[in-house]
Chain A
Amino acid sequence: MNELPHSPAAGCAHGAGTSTAFGLAGAGTLFRKEVLRFWKVAFQTVAAPVLTSVLYLLIFGQVLEDRVEVFPGVGYTSFLIPGLVMMSVLQNAFANSSSSLIQSKITGNLVFLLVTPLSHTAWYVAYVGAAVLRGLMVGIGVLLVTAWAAPMQVQQPQWIVVFVLLGAAILASLGLIAGLWAEKFDQMAAFQNFIVMPMTMLSGVFYSVQSLPPLWLAVSHLNPFFYMIDGFRRGFFGYSDVSPWLSLAVVGGCFLFVAALALELLRRGYKLRA
């Protein structure tokens, strides 16, 4: 049998390089692993959400196209498409980080990550980065297969980029928090079905909140998801229910809050390290 090509002193991974370089390489590996995880089941994680959005478009667009004009010169189907895109981005960003973490916790393979030198910041960047990427891939998929259904325009692309990235990062961070908190799949399902789903559906994806009665209009303005979708839609049509700067302030503030919370929970090892 051959001698193993290393010795404890010379071959150990700590023998060369800086902590920062190791940290970046480690975070990069975790990011790639998270991307590979959803990409290996892309039919379920990317194609299926795209199909769901197409069904929404076919049903709501068909029924309401001739009855509703939300913004001047913008048909209902055109109005609906950005909402569907953003809804898909948000839901899939949340689903990616939350499902990955809860699965690893419940099956026990999170131990392979817990014994590594990766910092809490590296965990955050990798999990959120991969979740944002999945959200963007689904969103682009929805846009590509729905854009044929109605005339689309891009008036202010900077808002599209800003709100899609911030919205995805917020939901990815929320998914991370939910994944840390939940100990069972039904707790995760409750978080998704009773918090994320209602806030997404009641955020103006399918309608302009200006068409709501005053009470529900006021309630909608308390929903941060409304600002994500309204700001995102602004990028397409140049119209929005509220100022994009107000939306940016709300969405940016939400991002800072959930990012800080997720980072603090990871730093403490909340429900990770006994």
Chain B
Amino acid sequence: MSTAIAVRFDDVAKTYRSAEGALRALDGVSFDIREGEFFGLLGPNGAGKTTLISVLAGLTRASSGRVSVHGHDVVSDYAAARRRLGIVPQELVFDPFFSVRETLRIQSGYFGVRGNEAWIDELLHELDLGDKADANMRQLSGGMKRRVLVAQALVHRPPVIVLDEPTAGVDVELRQTLWHFIARLNRQGHTVLLTTHYLEEAEALCARIAMLKLGRLVALDRTSALLSGAAGTVLAFKTDAALPPALAAAARVTGRIVQLRVQDAQGVEQTLAALRQAQVPVEDLEIRRPDLEDVFVHTMNQGLVEAASAATSAAGASS
């Protein structure tokens, strides 16, 4: 991987003002994404992920700070910056007047790229859209429309690809097609910035991850470092019974599945004893290492960490 910087966020802040008051969506966010990196941007709803991407894409103007793409400022040198960016928007939007092929030709033309038929054909093939090339956008299913969004973002061959929750609400087949394709582009040197709520995807794909909370950077490190830095063990089991209050407060509950973070073997014994004492029946007991979701939940619950120290830690880890 290159050490050159593909995307730089430098003390980016954004405040939305309205009659109801001011909302600080981004609060001094700074980090770099290196060329060729597969980078994950995570955070709960309202954390500022889409705002940060909107600033990068020129859809939103930062209140302060700078953003650059391959050294080109997204405001003062926006044309050069945007030529290097391919954005897959979160919303499933399309122009109902045009077919898939027309849509891709038009998007290509906006970037001044003519005679792009070979690449358009390649994109249609790679994204399994070949038989839909002449179909009107209105006739496509949601998954097909999502594929077209990806093709539109790639049609001018940008070196930096930004995917804003690209797999939200799409089926397994499309996810696999998409990730296979994006991972291959990344291997060929494309920089990828991904936001997603599917943390297993982020863990599998992203070499480095930033986490945002309430507009501030709360974690920034290599994915492996985030995982190895997560202390303790996760005790996972299924139950229909209510947990004792002391355990319920710290538990992550998804339907019948309960996950509890414990520090060590003694913690496991104490937790199991508490469950026995409360007569909570336990099925499918499992003890495992924390995954990215555990790290994410722990980070979000932990409170804000100074962005500067996170950035310093990441720089040290990657040097």
Contacts and interface: CB of A to CB of B under 8 A. Distances in A.
Interface of A: 1, 3-9, 11-14, 17, 19, 21-26, 28-30, 32-33, 36-37, 40-41, 104, 107-109, 111-119, 269, 273-274
B14 to A, nearest CB: 9
B166 interface: no
A23 B157 contact: no
B249 interface: no
Contact of A36 (B84, B97, B156): B97
Interface in B133-162: 152, 156-159
A33 B106 contact: yes
B57 interface: yes
Interface of B: 16, 35-36, 54, 57-61, 78-80, 82-85, 87, 89, 91, 93-98, 102, 106-114, 118-119, 122, 126, 152, 156-159, 184-185, 188-191
A169 B159 CA distance: 39
Nearest to A31: B109
Contacts of B126: 4
B135 to A, nearest CB: 15
Nearest to A13: B156
A119 B79 CA distance: 8
B61, B83, B85, B126 pick with most chain A CB within 10 angstroms: B83
Which 8 pairs between the two chains have the least Cβ-Cβ distance? A29-B109, A22-B112, A117-B79, A8-B159, A108-B93, A116-B110, A25-B112, A13-B156
A14, A107, A118, A273 pick with most chain B CB within 10 angstroms: A14
Contact of B93 (A12, A40, A111, A269): A111
A172 B189 CA distance: 44
B59 A13 contact: no
19 contacts: A4-B122, A5-B118, A7-B188, A8-B36, A12-B84, A14-B80, A22-B79, A22-B83, A23-B112, A26-B112, A32-B106, A111-B87, A112-B107, A114-B57, A115-B58, A115-B85, A117-B83, A117-B112, A274-B60
A1 B78 CA distance: 35
Contact of B95 (A4, A21, A109): A109
A26 to B, nearest CB: 5
A274 B52 CA distance: 12
Contacts of B91: 108, 111
A92 to B, nearest CB: 17
Contact of A115 (B57, B61, B98, B190): B57
Nearest to B89: A111
A26 B97 CA distance: 19
A51 B184 CA distance: 56
B119 A5 contact: yes
A116 B156 CA distance: 10
Nearest to B126: A4
B190 A8 contact: yes
Contact of B84 (A14, A104, A109, A113): A14
B93 A107 contact: yes
Contact of B106 (A19, A22, A29): A29
Nearest to A39: B97
A112 B159 contact: no
A200 B126 CA distance: 52
A22 B111 contact: yes
A143 to B, nearest CB: 28
B121 to A, nearest CB: 10
Contact of A19 (B79, B85, B98): B79
